Copies of this chain bind each other. A is one copy, B any other.
Amino acid sequence: MTAPTLATERRIVDEGIVLDTPVMVVDESILHQNIAEMQSFANSHAVALRPHIKTHKTPQITRLQLQAGAAGITCAKLGEAEVMVAQGGADDVLLAYPIVGEPKIHRLLALMERAHVIVAVDTREAAAALSEAMAANERVLDLYVEVNTGQNRAGARPGDEALALALDIARMPGLNPIGVMTHEGHAGSSAPDAIERTALAAGRAMVETAEAMRGAGLPIRVVSVGSTPSSPYTPTVPGVTEMRPGTYVFNDNNAFRHGRIGPDRCAARIVATVVSRPAPDRAIVDAGSKALAYDPSPSHAGHGYIVGHPDAILSRISEEHGVVLLPEGEAEFAVGDRHEIIPNHVCPAINLTDELTVVRDGRPIDVWRVAARGMVR
C-alpha cells in the first residue's frame, strides 16, 4: 500500500462523457477493492467488521459491505439506521451514539422490532431513561459502554470510571451491557508516525477495561474500536473483537497524510468544470463548500485534491465557487475544462449530494440515491 507516483493518477470518468457538474462520481472497481481489502484485513485478524455507514449513507453500499462479510453495521443516528434496515438489508445495527429524549426512544423501540440493535451509552442519565422504556415495554436492550481513549469527545475514562458506569448500568432493568467501544479518532489526528502507537495504546486500554468488567462479573463479549486511519493497528491488539471503520469505502484527501493510499484508492470524486479564468494564475471551478464541504485538511493546503494536478491548489472555496491557484504553465484550466476533485473529508461531502453517479471503466452505469443523507436525527 505505497502511495503511487503521479503518473498512475487517473480520472475515473472518461474525458468524452458529458455529465452536468458539479457531480459526485464513484468508481465501482475502487469501491469494490476498498470493501474487499478491509474485509480481508478483518478476517485475517479474526475481528468482526461492523462498518460505519455515515460515510456513504447509501443502501446499495451497505449491501455490498454485508455481502463481503460485514457482521453488521454502525450508524451514528437513528435515521441512518432506519434507512439501512428498511433499504440496505441490515439486521444488526450498532447505534454508536447516545440515545436521549423521548422521541428517539420511541423510534428505537420501533427499530428493535425490525433488527438487532445495540446502543452506545456513556452516562447514567441516558441509561436510566432507556432502562425505564425497556422495562415498560418488556424489552432488553444490548449496550456498548462508550470509553474515551483520548479523543476527549464522549465516553467514560478507561478503567475505574468505565467499570463503575458499567456496573451501575448492569443493575438497571432492561439493559444488557455486552461490550465496550471507543472511537480512537485522536490516533488519526496525531502525527503520522504517532498513529500506530496511539492506536495500539487505545486498543490495549479497551482490552484492559473489558477485562476489569469481566473480573467484576459482567459478561462483556465485544471490544469494539473505530476509525479508518487507525484501522491497520487497533484491531491487531489481542482481545479486540470488532472494528468500525467508515471512510475506507471511499477514502479521501485526508487519507493521503497517513501515507497509506494514493489518489487511485479514492473512489469518490467531484467532477467540476472550470467556469472562469479571471487571471493566468487563477481559475474558478463550479464546486465550492456546498459540494465539497468546508472541512480542512490537516496537512495539505487547500480544500481538496485535483487529480493529476498536484500543484494546482484549491486555495479558497465559497459556497459555489472554488478558487484554484495555478502554477505557471498549467494548461488544463481553460473555461469548460473538467477536473476530478477528491474532497478533504469525504463523509460530509457525500452528505451534500442526493445521488452518487456510479462509474465503471470511465462510464456512468448507475445512479444510487444517498438515502440517509441529512439524517441527523
Contacts and interface: CB of A to CB of B under 8 A. Distances in A.
Given A100-B335, A318-B185, A22 B377 contact: yes
Interface string A277-300: 110001010110111011110000
Given A77-B320, A289-B348, A320-B76, A100 B275 contact: yes
Given A76-B320, A321-B153, A98 B376 contact: no
Contacts of A353: 374, 376
Contact of A348 (B100, B287, B290, B374): B290
A168 interface: no
Interface stretch (A29-37, A120-128, A304-312, A361-369): A120-128
Which of A23, A278, A336 gathers the greatest number of chain B CB atoms within 10 Å? A278
Contacts of A318: 153, 185
B20 A104 contact: yes
A320 B97 contact: yes
Interface of A: 18, 20-23, 54, 76-77, 97-98, 100-104, 122-123, 125-126, 129, 148, 152-156, 185, 273-278, 282, 284, 286-287, 289-291, 293-296, 316, 318-321, 323, 334-336, 347-348, 351-354, 374, 376-377
